[in-house]
Amino acid sequence: MPRDAALLILPGSKATLADLAFLRGEGWDIDLLAHHRQGGHILGLCGGYQILGRRIADPEGIEGPPGEAKGLGLLDIETVLGGDKRLGEIDGIEVASGQPVHGYEMHVGVTTGPGLARPMLRLDDRPDGAVSANGWVAGCYLHGLFAGDAFRHAFLARLGAEGNAGYDAGIEATLDALAEHLEQSLDLDALFAAARPVRINRAA
Q: Which among 133, 134, 167 has a CA at the least distance from the CA of 150?
A: 167
Smallest CA-to-CA distance from 104 within 144, 140, 138, 139 is with: 144
- Provide DSSP, 128-169: E-EE-TTSSEEEES-BTGGG-HHHHHHHHHHTT----S-HHH
Amino acid, single-letter form, for residue 203: A
- R_g over Cα of the chain: 22
Q: Indicate the pairing of strand 78-80 with strand 55-58.
A: parallel
**CA atoms lying within 13 Å on the CB side of residue 158:** 13
Q: Which of 36, 46, 107, 140 is catalytic?
A: 46
Q: Is 46 a catalytic residue?
A: yes
Annotation marks residue 140 as catalytic: no
Provide the annotated active-site residues. 46, 143
